[in-house]
């Protein structure tokens, strides 16, 4: 997983820091663990408030990125989100695509930590797309070392986005929207909000209500989507056995080897691998999903769907890396 400090280190990879020498001192202070947590929080707050007086918007944004990241690590969640979003807005306005993409990825890490998986995935998708555009630009300009760096980060990002069932679930909607009816979608949104707020009192009843609607649906994709979602919720709530049953049931609603089937099979493989006794079954399912993704990549190539081909290619590589890591760790 890409840690937030690691992502912060990307911010000045392409260009030197915009922060003045005098402000570099304060950046060092907020990262100094020899200073008390209270003093660091106070310094972060003061520094974030002072940026509006700076004439250089890129210096403002970079300071806010540091304040947001350090503040997040110190538990200043609400403030951190605001600072990071402001930094991202400045970078977007200034057309600093590299730093804008980096800011979006840091926001993704924060939002995922809050349990806001859909918001987080949308941020991650935008960030990765920007890095891909930059990599393609470097390819055209024959700046090989820079292109290679961006390709490496894109692979790292993709690995993060498929390394857990709750993240992989969002891939179901890569090429189309939700299949849920309006009433089912409303219930799903209520459940997602409860999970974000860690207010689980009504979650079980809401899940039963969702299933009560979708299991009677004449559209198998709607049934499958709700089953997969309930599996993700069960996974987040540490009911891993329940999650596995939901994922198995969701797979039966899709055509074998289809895109959606392959996505759910990967989620099932990850879930099974969490149980030592089911490592082999988990690996088997992940291997099968990888084969399906490779076939889907070839199909997209033959149909000249270049964006889909590239999407399947990077995910195929990321899946192989994750599987290799899982196997080496057993």
Backbone phi, psi, residue 5, to 5°: -65, -35
Q: Which of 267-279 are b and which e, b meaning 16 or more Cβ less than 10 Å from the residue's Cβ?
A: bbbbbbbeeeebb
User: In a 10 Å sphere around its CB, with 0-12 CB exposed, 13-18 middle and 19+ buried, how is residue 201 labelled?
Assistant: exposed
Alpha-carbon gap, residue 244 to 241, rounded angstroms: 5
Alpha-carbon gap, residue 203 to 194, rounded angstroms: 7
To the nearest 5 percent, what fractions of the chain are helix, strand and coil? 80, 0, 20
Domain with CATH 1.25.40.10 in the chain: 4-161, 169-328
- Closest listed residue to residue 84, CA positions, set 55, 134, 48: 48
DSSP character for 172? Answer: G
Q: Give the CATH architecture of domain 4-161.
A: Alpha Horseshoe (1.25)
Q: Looking at residue 1, what is its pLDDT? A: 86
Q: Looking at residue 197, what is its pLDDT? A: 86
Q: What is the pLDDT along the chain (330 residues), one digit of tens a residue?
A: 899 999 999 999 999 999 999 999 999 999 998 999 999 999 999 999 999 999 999 999 999 999 999 999 999 999 999 999 999 999 999 999 999 999 999 999 999 999 899 899 999 999 999 999 999 999 999 999 999 999 999 999 999 999 999 999 999 999 999 999 999 999 999 999 999 888 888 999 999 999 999 999 999 999 999 999 999 999 999 999 999 999 999 999 999 999 999 999 999 999 999 999 999 999 999 999 999 999 999 999 999 999 999 999 999 999 999 999 988 877
Domain 169-328: assigned CATH number: 1.25.40.10
Q: Looking at residue 118, what is its pLDDT? A: 87
DSSP character for 76? Answer: -
Q: Looking at residue 89, what is its pLDDT? A: 98
Q: What is the pTM of this model?
A: 0.92
Q: Looking at residue 155, what is its pLDDT? A: 97
Alpha-carbon gap, residue 63 to 15, rounded angstroms: 15
Alpha-carbon gap, residue 283 to 268, rounded angstroms: 10
Helix (H, G, I), strand (E, B) or coil at 282: helix
């Amino acid at each position: 997983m890409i840690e937030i400090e690691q992502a912060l280190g990307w911010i000045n990879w392409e260009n030197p820091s915009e922060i003045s020498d005098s402000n570099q001192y304060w950046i060092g202070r907020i990262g100094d663990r020899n200073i008390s947590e209270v003093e660091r929080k106070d310094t972060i707050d003061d520094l974030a408030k002072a940026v509006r007086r700076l004439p250089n918007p890129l210096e403002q944004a970079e300071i806010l990125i540091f304040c947001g990241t350090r503040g997040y690590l110190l538990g200043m969640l609400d403030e951190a989100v605001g600072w990071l979003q402001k930094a991202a807005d400045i970078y977007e306005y200034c057309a600093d695509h590299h730093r804008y993409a980096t800011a979006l990825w840091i926001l993704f890490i924060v939002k995922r930590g809050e349990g806001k998986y859909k918001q987080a995935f949308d941020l991650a998708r935008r960030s990765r797309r920007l890095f891909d555009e930059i990599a393609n630009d470097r390819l055209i300009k024959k700046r090989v070392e820079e292109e290679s760096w961006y390709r490496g980060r894109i692979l790292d990002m993709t690995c993060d986005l498929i390394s857990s069932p709750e993240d992989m679930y969002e891939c179901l909607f890569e090429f189309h929207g939700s299949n849920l009816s309006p009433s089912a979608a409303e219930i799903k949104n209520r459940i997602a909000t409860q999970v974000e707020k860690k207010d689980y009192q009504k979650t079980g009843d809401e899940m039963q209500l969702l299933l009560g609607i979708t299991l009677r649906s004449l559209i198998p994709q709607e049934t499958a989507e709700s089953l997969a979602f309930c599996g993700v919720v069960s996974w987040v709530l540490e009911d891993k056995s329940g999650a596995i049953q939901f994922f198995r049931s969701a797979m039966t609603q899709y055509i074998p080897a289809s895109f959606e089937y392959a996505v759910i099979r990967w989620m099932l493989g990850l879930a099974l691998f969490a149980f030592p006794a089911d490592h082999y079954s988990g690996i088997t399912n992940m291997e099968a999903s990888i084969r399906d993704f490779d076939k889907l990549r070839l199909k997209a190539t033959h149909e000249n769907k270049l964006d889909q081909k590239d999407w399947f290619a990077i995910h195929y590589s990321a899946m192989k890396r994750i599987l290799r890591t899982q196997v080496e760790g057993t």
